[in-house]
């Protein structure tokens, strides 16, 4: 009996040759199938058509065009698995080093950064209070914001239960500060706003009163160097969009600032349970993609970044410059960002085409083309080259020419 059991144990450890052969064949088939993947037209299968984005890196148009190194990094992360918390911390440490911030984290977008940062300032790491949100009973929940800084996305300040307190002057500000004040919020809008408490003074008051000061700088890139400049202003927290001016993944953003507040914000984010940001997940692909996108953006000079845009704009201009009354102008945005744009205008008495109909005609073109119509600036047509692929500038130029000539 003892000999029989010994033999059974011996044979149990031996893998049958037929099974080994089957597994080897299966593995070879998997490798073979992966190397011979059929190129599919996914959008065609879904019944939707791609378009040429000559409008710019807007969320409704899918954000910016990622660079190849960013795409490669995301592809690498897709097939090489690591623990998310380890990746989160490692990427945050690297981004802090790149930007000069005390600490940093990748979020699922600038709006998520605002939600997480606000929650961090309201609870200051108190786990009981963290689980309680958005119920703010017994929690500091007042967020001071300047009236001229109210904007579309300030709703993010209220997701964790924050209550907005508007101020218009320093007197209002000092009167608004009390034991319920959790945070002072500052917006860096694309255009300069007059008659506000400037950033330096706002930060000074916040520091004096011991209140965290948060800045939304989402729209201040490009250039990427503005991220470093923003960090140097010494806000306690500052956030940026990742999928636009920095050309990172669409659903990614940056939150930079003081180490303790970033640590509190991390506690509010995925994959932590019972946190206000549990659903605001960031994938491994987005962590790595955002890091590489930032590295690339910081290594490219403004002149290099604008050079290819000027070439593409000139290709468009060459297609339409001979049309009577056409005026074109390549210019750098007179805002916090240094984005390059192309303005197109014409005399509607000569070219009998409204700007609205022009935009709609390009939209109905094949392929469809999107451009910006600036109604607030006398109906100017404005183009961006940031998201256009190579060769699309020529297609855009020909389409614009054909539309305009129909109405001469």
CATH architecture of 302-405: Alpha-Beta Complex (3.90)
Torsion of CA 348, 349, 353, 359, to 10 degrees: 0
Question: Of 392 and 336, which is predicted with more confidence?
Answer: 392
First-to-last CA distance in the chain?
A: 103
291 in Cβ contact with 95 (< 8 Å): yes
Residue 15 scores a pLDDT above 70: no
At residue 191 the predicted structure's pLDDT band, cuts being 50, 70 and 90, is low
The rounded percent of the chain whose pLDDT value lies above 90 is 80
For residues 307 and 303, give the distance between their C-alpha atoms in angstroms, rounded to a whole number.
6
- Average pLDDT score over the chain: 90
Report the CATH number of the 68-299 domain: 3.40.640.10
At residue 189 the predicted structure's pLDDT band, cuts being 50, 70 and 90, is confident
pLDDT (mean) for 349-361: 95
State residue 190's pLDDT score: 64
**Closest C-alpha to 369, from 395, 332, 337:** 395
Q: Which residues pair with 365 in a beta bridge?
A: none
State residue 149's pLDDT score: 95
DSSP notation for 298-338: HHS-HHHHHHHHHHHHHHHHHHHTTSTT-EEEEEE-SSSS-
Q: Where in the chain is the domain with CATH 3.90.1150.180?
A: 302-405
Q: Where in the chain is the domain with CATH 3.40.640.10?
A: 68-299
């Amino acid at each position: 009996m003892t000999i029989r059991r010994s033999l059974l144990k011996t044979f149990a450890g031996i893998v049958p040759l037929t099974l080994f052969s089957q597994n080897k064949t299966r593995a070879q088939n998997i490798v073979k199938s992966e190397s011979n993947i059929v190129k599919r037209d996914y959008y065609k299968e879904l019944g939707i058509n791609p378009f040429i984005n000559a409008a710019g890196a807007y969320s409704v148009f899918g954000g910016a065009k990622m660079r190849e190194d960013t795409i490669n990094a995301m592809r690498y992360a897709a097939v090489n698995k690591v623990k998310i918390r380890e990746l989160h911390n490692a990427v945050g440490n690297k981004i802090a080093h790149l930007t000069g911030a005390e600490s940093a984290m990748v979020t699922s977008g600038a709006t998520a950064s605002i939600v997480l940062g606000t929650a961090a300032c309201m609870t200051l790491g108190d786990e009981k209070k963290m689980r309680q949100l958005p119920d703010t009973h017994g929690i500091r929940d007042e967020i001071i914001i300047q009236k001229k800084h109210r904007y579309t996305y300030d709703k993010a300040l209220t997701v964790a239960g924050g209550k907005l307190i508007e101020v218009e002057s320093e007197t209002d500000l000092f009167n608004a500060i009390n034991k319920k004040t959790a945070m002072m919020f500052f917006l860096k809008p694309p255009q300069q706003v007059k008659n506000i408490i400037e950033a330096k003074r706002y930060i000074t008051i916040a520091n004096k009163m011991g209140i965290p000061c948060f800045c939304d700088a989402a729209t201040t890139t490009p250039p990427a160097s503005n991220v470093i400049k923003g960090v140097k202003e010494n806000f306690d927290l500052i956030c940026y969009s990742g999928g636009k001016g920095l050309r990172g993944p669409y659903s990614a953003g940056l939150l930079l600032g003081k180490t303790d507040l970033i640590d509190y914000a991390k506690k509010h984010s995925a994959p932590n349970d019972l946190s206000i940001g549990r659903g605001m997940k960031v994938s491994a692909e987005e962590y790595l993609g955002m890091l590489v996108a930032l590295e690339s953006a910081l290594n490219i000079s403004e002149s290099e970044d604008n050079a290819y845009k000027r070439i593409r704009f000139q290709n468009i201009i060459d297609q339409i410059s001979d049309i009577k009354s056409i005026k074109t102008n390549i210019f750098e945005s007179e805002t916090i960002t240094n984005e390059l744009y192309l303005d197109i205008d014409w005399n509607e008495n000569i070219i009998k085409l409204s700007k609205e109909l022009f935009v709609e005609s390009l939209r109905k073109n094949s392929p469809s083309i999107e451009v910006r119509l600036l109604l607030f600036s006398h109906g100017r047509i404005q183009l961006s080259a940031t998201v256009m692929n190579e060769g699309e500038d020529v297609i855009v130029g020909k389409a614009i020419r054909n539309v305009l000539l129909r109405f001469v």
